[in-house]
Amino acid sequence: DTEVTQTPKHLVMGMTNKKSLKCEQHMGHRAMYWYKQKAKKPPELMFVYSYEKLSINESVPSRFSPECPNSSLLNLHLHALQPEDSALYLCASSQKDLGTGNTIYFGEGSWLTVV
């Protein structure tokens, strides 16, 4: 079982709604990530937090707003999404920065449908 927990597992939201995806890890990891994955495609990096600070934003539209309240929690706030934003949203964590041999561990993901 994954040690990265994501909620909710499924979310359906309208284009005018505001919702949030939540992620929690208790492995003492200090880097956390949001990825987006569409069907039959690899995961695409959205954001990286390192020591609770945003270190990478892959030019993600502002309708996606990440937040890292502490070293164990990562949120993704959603507002005014489009149907094409429907996807699997994966949270991941890793030990500090990705040094040699370190890699990331994914949560089970949140399936998002925008209607």
Partner 1 sequence: RKEVEQDPGPFNVPEGATVAFNCTYSNSASQSFFWYRQDCRKEPKLLMSVYSSGNEDGRFTAQLNRASQYISLLIRDSKLSDSATYLCVCKAAGNKLTFGGGTRVLVKP
Residues that bind partner 1 (CB under 8 A): 2, 31, 41-43, 45, 48, 50, 55-56, 88, 90, 94, 97-98, 100-109
- State how far the Cα of 46 lies from the Cα of 34, in Å rounded to an integer: 5
Nearest residue (CB) to partner 1, 17 versus 37? 37
Q: How near is the Cβ of 113 to partner 1 at its closest, in Å?
A: 14
Q: Are the C-beta atoms of 9 and 21 separated by less than 8 Å?
A: no
Q: How near is the Cβ of 16 to partner 1 at its closest, in Å?
A: 28
Nearest residue (CB) to partner 1, 67 versus 108? 108
